[in-house]
Amino acid sequence: MKSLGIKIYGDKLLRSKSKAVEDFGSDLSPFLEQMIETMIIEGGVGLAAPQVGISKKIAVINPEPENTATLIKMINPRIVSTSDEVETLEEGCLSIPGIRGDVVRSSAIEVVYQDENGREHNVKAEGLLARIIQHEIDHLNGVLFIDHLSLAKKALIKPELRNLLHGRGRER
Ligand code: CO
């Protein structure tokens, strides 16, 4: 197993809107497998393609990394409904090592996505799964979890973000 390598905060791709996948050809499945391997090696519960340098609407998600039954591969995902109810939970991100913070997100969502064969799926998610999906779809829109932090917390992490920009981030 080999990691594709993770783009770290400061990389332009992390702030770019990813392009929709139109070609469901034979390159897609191997790329998804590489993303899954990378997610496992890096110790994440989700990974979006821009985090490995590919600006396409692709994400892999697994709230239980050791359980293949809970793995979801999402192509062109979009949230079609969100609950009024919200939840606050601490998040981190493989692309922003060493920084964690409380993020308020919808408790439940409904998402439409395609699988590697282009077939459309519709899934209702709540709790941790709903949170991870929202975090990864944010990545596909160039949004990072730090954008959702309180103003006070944003001020607090400013020096750490500056260190990441200058390549002096904490070792993972
Ligand atoms: Co992330």
Give the tokens for residue 37. Answer: 């391997």
Q: What is the pLDDT of residues 110-167, one digit of tens each?
A: 999 999 999 999 999 999 999 999 999 999 999 999 999 999 999 999 999 999 998 8
Catalytic (active site) residue 136:
yes
pTM across the whole model: 0.95
Looking at residue 172, what is its pLDDT? 46
Q: What is the pLDDT of residues 23-37, one digit of tens each?
A: 999 999 999 999 999
Domain that holds residue 35: 12-88+107-143
Enumerate residues with CB within 5 Å of ligand 1 (an ion). 93
Task: Determine, yes or no, domain membership for 32.
Answer: yes
Task: Determine, yes or no, domain membership for 5.
Answer: no
Task: Determine, yes or no, domain membership for 24.
Answer: yes
If one counts the domains in the chain, the total is: 1
Task: Determine, yes or no, domain membership for 119.
Answer: yes
Question: Which conformational region is residue 91 in: left (phi greater than 0), alpha (psi within -120 to 50 degrees), or beta?
Answer: beta
Q: Measured in angstroms, how far is the CA atom of residue 107 from the centroid of ligand 1?
A: 18
Active-site pick, 42, 91, 136, 160: 136
The neighbouring-strand residues paired with 121 are 113
Indicate the SS3 state at residue 37: helix
Q: Measured in angstroms, how far is the CA atom of residue 122 from the centroid of ligand 1?
A: 22
CATH number at residue 114: 3.90.45.10
Backbone angles phi, psi at 113, to 5 degrees: -150, 170
Identity (one letter) of the amino acid at 81?
S
Task: Determine, yes or no, domain membership for 62.
Answer: yes
